[in-house]
Amino acid sequence: MRAVNKIYLREVLKDERDLTLKYDGSTKSGHHLVEAQLSTDKDTFTLNVQETCGGTASDYSECIKDLVYDVDSNIMKNISNTMTDRCVTNNAIDKEIETLTGNKVNSFRCAMHPLDTIHKQTEKRIKQHELTMKKGNADKSMPYTHRGESSTQALLRAIDKVLHCSASGLPKELPQHLRNKGFLGGQNSSLYPRWVGNRFNLFL
């Protein structure tokens, strides 16, 4: 199956220009893994996930090189952009990617990490506020609160489940409200993502 996938990727990507390389790393059970994807203007393709011995810029760039070359070394020169998170190491990685491609690449950074930081700090302050409200109260937490979760977030999650429409992934009242305000319908239909299970949509 892997051989078939490589043949397919080689055929699809060989004539594409201005490819966007997306990469990220994560440590699981003591193993540091790097994933790389290539995006055209229409589709995104996962090249593979590979273990690397370290987390330096050289380790990452060599791993990314291996993943791209495993499909077709000629694809490397067609990479014009990178997309990853806001880690300082990624600036050095992008410089090495430029050396591999022979081109100046545009470096884009995901905005998810700042949102995640805002979420964590907000949750921390809410927990502190809830503790002051619960002093002397025998009931220390709401039922069905997940471990480490504030009662406020547990309440929002529970309300979302009550309003949730499993067919669309949206609370039932929201689409009608947006239509009434002229924000949903026609070209605006794709502006709002599914929000069940998305803590940013629930919390922020």
Q: pLDDT, tens digit, for every residue of 54-107?
A: 888 899 999 999 999 999 989 999 999 999 988 888 999 999 999 999 989 999
Residue 48: φ, ψ to 5°: 175, 175
Number of Cβ within 10 Å of residue 89's Cβ equals: 15
Q: How many domains does the chain have?
A: 2
Listed residue (52, 50, 49, 47) closest to 71, CA to CA: 47
Contact 99, 77 (CB under 8 A): no
Shared domain for 75 and 138, answered yes or no, is no
Pairing relationship of beta strands 31-39 and 44-52 according to DSSP bridges: antiparallel
Amino acid at 98: E
Same domain, 63 and 21: yes
Q: Which residue has the higher pLDDT, 199 or 146?
A: 146
Are 61 and 132 within one domain?
no
Query: Which of 201, 199, 175 lies closest to 188 in space, CA to CA?
Result: 175
User: Would you state the pLDDT for residue 108?
Assistant: 92
Q: What is the pLDDT of residue 192?
A: 55
Host domain of residue 181: 113-203
Length, in residues, of the chain: 204
Residues 105 and 15 in one domain: yes
CA distance 141 to 148: 11
What percent of the chain has pLDDT above 70? 76
pLDDT tens profile 138-177: 455 556 677 778 888 888 777 666 655 555 555 566 667 7
Same-domain check for residues 10 and 99: yes
Q: Judge whether 4 and 63 are in contact, CB under 8 Å.
A: no
Check whether residue 192 and residue 158 sit in a common domain. Answer: yes
Residue where one domain finishes, among candidates 83, 110, 137: 110
Query: Which CATH number goes with the domain that contains 34?
Result: 3.30.420
The pLDDT of residue 138:
46
Same domain, 106 and 130: no
Instruction: Give the end of a domain, one of 110, 142, 177.
Output: 110
What pLDDT is attached to residue 19? 94
Residues 193 and 117 occupy one common structural domain: yes
- Residue type (1 letter), 140: K
- The residue among 63, 89, 110 that closes a domain is 110
